[in-house]
A and B are shown apart, each in its own frame.
Chain A
Amino acid sequence: MAVFAGKILRDSDFKRDVVEKVVQRCLLVFGKEVSESFVSCIQCGMCTGSCPSGGRTILNTRQIVLSLNLETVYRYFDRSELWYCTTCYTCQERCPRKVRITDLMRAVRNIAVENGYMSKEHRAVIRYLYETGHSVPIREDVKELRAKLGLPEVPPTTHQYGKALEEVRKLMEELNYAQYGEEG
């Protein structure tokens, strides 16, 4: 029996496979020094104390690292605080045990997204990327401003090159990434 975030946990609450997915994702993208780092956590709380979001919300970074070790991290999937981290890296820089917290945070979010937990605002960002190649696409008034400043009205990005946009779309499809842009 263990207590996590004030709740007594049952055997069925420990989900090794979710932690394994986070570890595998980190291993693939960042390598071993990240994927194995959380086991060194001594629960000192430096991360939580340093966190600009944690100072004003219920985000508790130390507990998220704990949940990786307890195999209860899946419990964060449907909690809004998982998305309160601004990826500022303050905790990761200050952690005395070199836990790669911000990298792990992104990996945990990846697995949450794969399990269908994603806000409609975030889906919209992916949709913009698919439709235009930009997460923040151009607007008519900015086109005018660009022209006034002597820049081409449309920047020389996917906005100007249709073939480039096709490449981005093709990649997003190949990666099964475009689907997340659809309404969930």
Chain B
Amino acid sequence: MAEYAFFLGCLMPNRYPGTEVSTRKVFEKLGVKLVDMDGASCCPAPGVHGSFSLVAWATLAARNLTLAEELNADIVTCCNGCYATLLEANHLLKENAELRELVNGKLKTVGREFKGKIEVKHVVEVLLDPEIAGIEKIKDSVVKPLKGVKAAVHYGCHFLKPSERRSLHESVENPAVLDKLVEALGPTSTSYSTKIMCCGAGGGVRSGNRELTDSMTLDHVKAMRKAEADLIVTPCVFCQFQFDAGQTELEELREEERIPVLHITQLLALAQGFKPDELGIPSHKVPAVKLLEKLK
């Protein structure tokens, strides 16, 4: 049985535990084992802590990487930000001896050493890997296809970019891989004009300039509504947070205009027959009541 070190990050365990529990259920169903990385911290966020101090960012990321090295397992994460940080730091530390030496000098003070023996994967990458699960096996696991639903698929930035290190090798301008996964679960993916634009939350903008972040979210929701989306699906818990919480912060948007948001693992878990209550969906800020009724 394949085994992964499950990197939780901050937003998933501390704001959207429904996504955490969905991922655990989905992987169990597909026969992939998740091992907890006891004592992991914030990844730390690539555009936030990376903007404050790249050296501190790389060192704290390296500490998280050593936890997976101890478990001798590749990492899987449900957040594009965690993915970006751990993937990038892992590469940089493997490739760049001077940085590795500096970082290992710091890690030594807490009895750790970065060795560079594991890889970092995004949850979608693992789901689509035919040797682990793959689209056919996923389709076979679907018992309740979510037919008649139009989904606005939002990839998020760091799932695809910077492209040079991404092993999915997906087009950054016209990606399709996630749409295919979503459609395998029943919904149709509706095309909308802001599809490849940033959700607005990254780079410390949400924490520092909320209005700017929310203005990007508003543009997305307007475009998604034009495309008649019933649902927003994202592979990133940070985008999930921004769309879910962000929509409720927008005065320009009436309550009935808000579109419910699901993480891809929540959508998959629903299609596999788990109940919305088990997946934390009723705890989201934008209620999914109308959507769930459509599925009954």
Binding site for B on A (CB under 8 A): 25, 28-31, 52-53, 56-57, 80, 83-90, 92-93, 102, 105-107, 109-110, 113, 118-119, 121-122, 124-126, 129, 133-139, 142, 145-146, 149-151, 155-161, 163-165, 167-168, 170-172, 174-175, 177, 180
Contact = CB atoms under 8 A, between A and B. Distances in A.
Given A57-B212, A142-B14, A149-B18, A106 B172 contact: no
Interface of B: 8, 10-11, 13-15, 17-18, 20-21, 36-42, 44-56, 58-60, 63, 92, 95-96, 98-99, 102, 106-107, 109-110, 112, 157-158, 161-163, 172, 196-198, 200-205, 207-209, 212-213, 215-216, 278-280, 283
Nearest to A129: B42
A94 to B, nearest CB: 8
Given A84-B209, A151-B21, A107 B163 contact: no
A154 to B, nearest CB: 9
A94 B172 CA distance: 10
B99 A29 contact: yes
Contacts of A142: 14-15, 17
Q: Which 8 A-B pairs have the closest CB atoms?
A: A164-B39, A87-B47, A155-B13, A89-B161, A88-B198, A87-B203, A133-B41, A177-B56
B56 A172 contact: yes
Given A57-B212, A134-B42, A29 B204 contact: no
A83 B95 CA distance: 29
Contacts of A172: 56, 60
A93 to B, nearest CB: 5
A133 B98 CA distance: 26
A156 B36 contact: yes
Contacts of A89: 157-158, 161-162
Contacts of A129: 41-42, 44, 49
B161 A92 contact: yes
Contacts of A139: 14-15
Given A138-B13, A171-B107, A110 B41 contact: no
Contact of A52 (B48, B92, B198): B198
Nearest to A85: B203
Given A125-B204, A137-B14, A110 B49 contact: no
A171 B106 contact: yes
A170 B95 contact: no
B172 A93 contact: yes
Contacts, number: 217
Contacts of A53: 205, 212, 216
A180 B51 CA distance: 13
A121 B208 contact: yes
A107 to B, nearest CB: 7
A83 B52 contact: no
A109 B51 contact: yes
A170 B21 contact: no
Contact of B17 (A28, A125, A135, A146): A146
B215 A56 contact: yes
Contacts of A106: 47, 50-51, 54
Given A134-B10, A157-B39, A163-B39, A171 B157 contact: no
Contacts of B163: 93
Contacts of B172: 93
A126 B106 CA distance: 18
A131 B56 CA distance: 16
24 contacts: A29-B55, A29-B92, A29-B99, A84-B209, A86-B213, A90-B157, A90-B196, A92-B162, A110-B53, A121-B208, A136-B10, A151-B17, A156-B8, A157-B39, A157-B41, A158-B41, A159-B13, A161-B38, A164-B39, A164-B40, A167-B110, A168-B41, A171-B110, A180-B53
B191 to A, nearest CB: 18
Contact of B280 (A138, A145, A157, A163): A145
Contact of B157 (A86, A118, A138): A86
A165 B38 CA distance: 11
